């Protein structure tokens, strides 16, 4: 039998040192809402995204004339016109543009994996496209959940579990860590109605209080795009652009 690759789930950025391995593909996941917003931006024609960790860095880019999105506590940071809502990125004027973004957890997780050889962006929105690509790579995969301020969160775990499910079903992957097995079972329990399953989840409640229910519904609707954002240096581009460089 062919040597199967490992798929693992890391539930928060601070656990990453215990999961990282050489030659592994890291999938950064922040379903609500950073990685969903990034996938949406690319699917609406954005050319490049520069994730930055701090508001100060974001401000520096803004001062240089960049288009900058900044979110903290689920809201647009004062002084920035754009936050983390996927709907904010459905803008034809952004086609071909570079966007700088900072968010509470998603951009932090992206930087946590800075030493990984390959980093891609995952969400429910690009679930099938990214799963199919991962299955073809013949490399171990680590699904890195952004969580909320380093705490476990349900929506990222469920999304990670959906990737685990597809990779295992391909017959090319195995998972023997409890973190991946738990993610897969949570996904199987949630998949028929993500909204209902996540009703009591902390971030869904947080966003609902901010009247962001439409964002939640959108982010929890799988397979709305085929984009695969991939890291090059310190920024993200589309996989197809990466291949043609
Ligand atoms: O934490 C993040 O990166 C954000 O996605 C959080 S929020 O959905 O904008 O509140």
23-37 pLDDT, tens digit per residue, is 999 999 999 999 999
pLDDT, mean over the chain: 96
Question: 244: pLDDT confidence band, cut at 50, 70 and 90?
Answer: confident
Token representation of residue 71: 């979110």
pLDDT at 26: 98
pLDDT at res. 200: 85
The residue to mutate among 37, 104, 123, 154, having the most atoms of ligand 1 within 8 angstroms of its beta carbon, is: 104
Q: Name the nearest CA neighbour of 126 among 39, 233, 2.
A: 39
Q: Report how far ligand 1's centroid is from the alpha carbon of 171 (Å).
A: 34
In percent, the amount of the chain with pLDDT more than 90 equals 92
Query: Against a cut of 0.85, is the pTM above it?
Result: yes
Residue 105 CB less than 6 A away from ligand 1: yes
SS3 178: helix
Over residues 202-229, the mean pLDDT reads 94
Q: Domain 5-237, what fold?
A: putative 2-phosphosulfolactate phosphatase (3.90.1560)
Exposure class string for 225-241: b at 16+ Cβ within 10 A, else e: bbbbbbbeeebbbbbee
Compute the distance from residue 4 Cα to the ligand 1 centre, in Å: 34
Distance 74 CA to ligand 1 centre (A): 6
CB of 32 closer than 6 A to ligand 1?
Answer: yes
Q: Which pLDDT score is estimated for 243?
A: 84
**Atom in ligand 1 nearest the alpha carbon of residue 74:** 10
User: CA-CA distance, 168 to 175, in Å (whole number)?
Assistant: 8
Q: Has residue 1 got a pLDDT over 60? A: no
13 lines ligand 1 (CB under 6 A): no
Quick check: CB of 74 below 6 Å from ligand 1?
yes
156 lines ligand 1 (CB under 6 A): no
* Residue 167: per-residue pLDDT: 98
Ligand 1, residue 32: give the atom nearest the CA. 8
Q: Please give the distance, rounded to the nearest whole angstrom, from the Cα atom of residue 28 to the centre of ligand 1.
A: 13
Express as a percent the part of the chain with pLDDT over 70: 99
pLDDT at res. 169: 98
Task: Supply the pLDDT for residue 204.
Answer: 87
Phi, psi of 145 (to 5 degrees): -80, 135
Residue found by looking up tokens 């928060």 in the block: 12
């Amino acid at each position: 039998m062919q040597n199967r690759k490992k798929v693992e789930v890391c539930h928060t950025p601070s656990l990453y040192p215990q999961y990282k391995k050489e030659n592994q593909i890291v999938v950064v996941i922040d379903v609500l809402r950073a990685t969903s917003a990034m996938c949406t931006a690319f699917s609406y024609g954005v050319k490049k995204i520069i994730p930055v960790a701090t508001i100060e860095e974001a401000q520096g880019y803004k001062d240089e004339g960049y288009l900058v999105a900044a979110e903290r506590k689920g809201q647009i940071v004062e002084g920035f016109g754009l936050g983390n809502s996927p709907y904010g990125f459905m803008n034809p004027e952004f086609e071909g543009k570079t966007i700088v973004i900072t968010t509470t957890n998603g951009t932090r997780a992206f930087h946590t994996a800075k030493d990984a050889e390959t980093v891609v962006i995952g969400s429910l929105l690009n679930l099938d496209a990214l799963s199919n690509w991962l299955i073809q790579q013949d490399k171990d995969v680590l699904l890195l959940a952004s969580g909320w301020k380093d705490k476990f969160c349900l929506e990222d775990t469920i999304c990670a579990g959906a990737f685990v499910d597809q990779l295992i079903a391909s017959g090319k992957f195995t998972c023997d860590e409890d973190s991946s097995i738990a993610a897969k079972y949570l996904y199987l329990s949630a998949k028929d109605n993500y909204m209902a399953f996540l009703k009591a989840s902390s971030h869904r409640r947080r966003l609902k209080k901010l009247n962001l229910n439409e964002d939640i519904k959108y982010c929890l609707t799988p397979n709305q795009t085929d984009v695969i954002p991939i890291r090059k240096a310190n920024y993200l581009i589309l996989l197809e652009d990466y291949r043609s460089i």
